[in-house]
Amino acid sequence: MGSSKDTRFWAMKWYLWVVVIFIVGGVLASIGFHMTAGESGGGIGEPLKWLGLIICGAGGLVALFAILLMAEEAISVMVANGQRLDSLLAMMNQQRQVLTQISQSAKLSDTAKEVLFRDMDRQSLREAVLEKLHQLDYTGTYALIEDIAHRAGYATLAQQLKVEADKYRGSTEEERMRQSLAHIEKLIDSSQWAQARTQIDKYATTFDDKRRAAEMQAKLSARRDKRKGQLLEAWNDSIKKQDVDASLEILKELDAYLTPGEGLALQESAREVFRNKLQSMGVQFSLAVNEKRWADALAIGERIMADFPNTKMAQEIHDGMESLRQRAGKDLTE
C-alpha cells in the first residue's frame, strides 16, 4: 500500500514540473513573439521567443519520460500480480487430483469402496497377466495366475485368465499377433494412452512387426488428438456458458493432454474458473450460515479450505471453524 502511495505522489510531482515548465516556456515564447512583432524589443525578442520554444520542447520530453516511467511501473505491478496468480493456480492443480480422490472416497459407503477397489485390482491383475503373455513368459504367466487363484474372491478371475492364457499359448504366431493388436485396440478405445503406447512398443519388440506397430502408433496419436480436441471444445463451451462445475471436471482430464505452452494459454480462463468457483462456494456458505444450516455450512467451509487454502475466505472460515463445528454438532444431536 505504501509503495502505491509513493508512486502516485511521485507521478503528481512530475505532472507539476511539466505544467510549470510549459507555463514558463509559453510565457517567454509569448513575450518574444510580441516583442518581435512590435519591433520594440530590439535584439531581445528573438532570443526570448526561441528560449520559450526550447523550454516547451523540454517540457514535452519530460512529460514523455514521466509517462514511460509510469507505464513501466504499471507493467511491473501487472507482472507481479500475474506471477502470484500463476503460483496459486499451479498449487491448486497439484492438489486437485488428490483432493478429488479423497472427496470421492469419503462419499462412498464401505461396500461401494470394496467394489470399486476390487474392480481396479482386477483390471491391474488382468493387465499384468496379459503383459507376461505378450512377452511369451508362460512360466511367469501361470505363476501369477496361480497366485491370483489363492486370493479370496478371485477364483473366477483366475480361471478366466487361465483359459485366455491356454488359448494364447496354443495359438499360432499370427493369432497371437492378432490378439495383441486387439488388446491394444481396447486400450486405445478406453483412452489408456500410456498403457497402449507401452504395449505397442512391446508388440514391435516381441513380433518384429514394425509396420503394424507404426500403424497402431499413428492410430493412437490420431485418437488422442481427437479426444484432446473434444475436450478443448467442451472447455470453451463451458467457459462461454459460465458452467463452473463442468469446467472444473473437463480441466481435470484436459490437464494430461496439454503441452506447457498450451497450459499457459489456458491459464487466464482457468484462473477465471477458479475465481468463479470460489465466489459461488462463498455465496453458498453465506446462505447456509444466514439460514443456520450449520451442517451444510461446515461441509462447504471445509471444501473451501481444502480447495482454496491460501485465500482470505479460507482463512476467515478457518478462524471460525471451531464455533461452526460446535453448532453443527448440536444440530446433529437434536
pLDDT digits (tens, 9 = 90+) for 202-242: 888 888 888 999 999 999 999 999 999 999 999 888 888 77
Q: What is the pTM of this model?
A: 0.48
Confidence of residue 2 (pLDDT cuts 50, 70, 90): very low
Summarised one tens digit per residue, pLDDT across range 160-178 is 889 988 888 888 888 888 8
Is the CA virtual torsion 138, 139, 144, 150 positive or negative? positive
Residue type, 138: Y
As given in the structure block, the three cell numbers for residue 329 are 454438532
Give the CA distances from residue 269 to residues 185, 237, 276, in Å, rounded to whole numbers and listed in that order: 35, 12, 11
Give the helix/strand (H/E) hosting 156.
helix 155-170
Q: How far apart are the first and last CA of the chain?
A: 49
What is the pLDDT at residue 118?
A: 57
| Of 2-6, 162-166, 256-260, 328-332, the least confident | 2-6
pLDDT greater than 60 at residue 83: no
Place of cell 478405445: 189
Summarised one tens digit per residue, pLDDT across range 35-78 is 666 555 456 766 766 776 777 777 667 666 666 666 666 665 55
Summarised one tens digit per residue, pLDDT across range 113-135 is 444 445 557 777 887 887 777 77
Distance CA 221, CA 196 (A): 11
What is the pLDDT at residue 90?
A: 42
Confidence of residue 22 (pLDDT cuts 50, 70, 90): low
Give the CA distances from residue 147 to residues 155, 193, 284, in Å, rounded to whole numbers and listed in that order: 10, 28, 51
Distance CA 29, CA 48 (A): 6
Is the CA virtual torsion 247, 252, 254, 260 positive or negative? positive
CB 317 within 8 A of CB 286: no
Classified as helix, coil or strand, 43 is coil
pLDDT greater than 90 at residue 331: no
Distance CA 308, CA 277 (A): 10
What is the pLDDT at residue 147?
A: 87
| Residues whose CB is less than 8 angstroms from the CB of residue 246 and which lie 6 or more positions away in sequence, other chains included | 234, 238
Residue 292, sorted as left (phi over 0), alpha (psi -120 to 50) or beta, turns out to be left
Distance CA 256, CA 260 (A): 11
As given in the structure block, the three cell numbers for residue 246 are 463442468
Using only C-alpha atoms, what is the Rg of the chain? 35
Mean confidence (pLDDT) of the chain: 75
What is the pLDDT at residue 99?
A: 41
What is the pLDDT at residue 17?
A: 64
Place of cell 471460525: 320
